[in-house]
Amino acid sequence: MSDIAIELKNIHKTFTVLDKNSHSLRGKIISFFTHTNKRSIKALSNINLEIKKGEFFGIMGHNGSGKSTLLRIMTGAYPPDEGGEIRRDGRFMLLTLGLGFNVQLTARENIYLNASILGLTLKQIGRIFHDIVAFAELEDFVDTQVKYFSSGMLSRLKFAIAVHADADIFLMDEFFGGVGDAGFKEKSERVFHESLVKGRTIVHVSHSVKTIEEHCHRVLLLHEGEPIAIGSPDEIIPQYKELSKKRRGIKKERRKNKEKKNSL
């Protein structure tokens, strides 16, 4: 069998958006017939990537660099532009804390809703329901609407649902262990590393240099949708920090120019 868990070939992604810049009736009519208020945004370009089975693979980049878009292309939620190819070998799940949470529903209802979104059947959820509740330490609040939960209770419930999901590949969007209060944080960190991550393929989108440095085997650095480099954390993190420095310099210069213009 192949040792490749995810393979991406010639991945590009373009979104078409509508700019609401025609406020007059005449402008709206012209835009309707000419489509002049439509524009394309290139979210990703030239992505070619192989992720090995059992690898902890990181994706770094600043806001708007295409990280989450790439993750959703891996899940199939977003189709790539024509000509792109995606191959996955194994069951996969997208993990984001709070996926599908509805504050008007009870903890019980949210467990069933979230777990079904993560790919579990009702029968499977029924078998692990009490384990989820016990892990989250919420036995006395099962039928309470989660809008009344503290942030710590919400974190515990979200994490408990996620760690009881089963898959070969976990695609994580800013999801990681160590949530809740001090006691639960220690437990969640331990469970995260001992059962959730162990033996699985992990693709982890993160802004956290510490997380990437400590856990990733390889890292992809994205900038404005383009792949800048793929390498070890030691190779990629300095490049990420250099990009951050340049971005701060550009923003500072823009603020100066704006202030100068306003003062004239």
- What would the pLDDT profile of 217-264 be if each residue is shown by its tens digit? 999 999 999 999 999 999 999 999 999 888 888 777 777 777 777 776
Q: If pLDDT is split at 50, 70 and 90, which confidence band does 48 have?
A: very high
pTM: 0.78
The domain limits of the chain are: 51-91+167-263
User: In this predicted structure, which of 54-68, 73-87, 107-121 has the lowest mean pLDDT?
Assistant: 107-121
Q: Which long-range contacts (CB under 8 A, 24 or more apart) does 121-130 make?
A: 128/164
- In this predicted structure, the answer to whether residue 147 has a pLDDT above a threshold of 70 is yes
User: In this predicted structure, which of 23-27, 70-74, 137-141, 255-259 has the lowest mean pLDDT?
Assistant: 23-27
Q: If pLDDT is split at 50, 70 and 90, which confidence band does 22 have?
A: low
- In this predicted structure, the answer to whether residue 136 has a pLDDT above a threshold of 70 is yes
Q: What is the pLDDT of residue 126?
A: 95
Q: What is the pLDDT of residue 99?
A: 63
Q: What is the pLDDT of residue 139?
A: 96
Single-letter code of the amino acid located at 12: H
Residue 108 tokens read as 């019980």
Question: Residues 61-87: what's their mean pLDDT?
Answer: 93
Alpha-carbon span 45 to 35, nearest angstrom? 25
CA distances in angstroms from 178 to 148, 193, 238, listed in the order given: 22, 10, 25
Pairing of strands 38-52, 4-18: antiparallel
Alpha-carbon span 74 to 49, nearest angstrom? 11
- In this predicted structure, the answer to whether residue 203 has a pLDDT above a threshold of 90 is yes
- Conformational region of residue 247, where left means phi above 0, alpha means psi within -120 to 50, and beta covers everything else: alpha
Q: If pLDDT is split at 50, 70 and 90, which confidence band does 101 have?
A: confident
Q: What is the pLDDT of residue 21?
A: 56
Q: CB-hemisphere CA count at 13 Å for 151?
A: 2
- In this predicted structure, the answer to whether residue 42 has a pLDDT above a threshold of 70 is yes
Q: If pLDDT is split at 50, 70 and 90, which confidence band does 163 have?
A: confident
What percentage of the chain exceeds 70 in pLDDT?
Answer: 88
- In this predicted structure, the answer to whether residue 173 has a pLDDT above a threshold of 90 is no
Closest CA to 39 of 16, 13, 21: 16
Which residue in this structure is represented by tokens 């009736």? 25
> Given this structure, which CATH class describes domain 51-91+167-263?
alpha beta
Single-letter code of the amino acid located at 259: E
Question: Residues 196-222: what's their mean pLDDT?
Answer: 90
**Mean pLDDT of all residues belonging to the chain:** 86
- In this predicted structure, the answer to whether residue 175 has a pLDDT above a threshold of 90 is no
- 98 vs 54: which has the higher pLDDT: 54
User: Under a CB-based contact definition with an 8 Å cutoff, are residues 12 and 81 in contact?
Assistant: yes
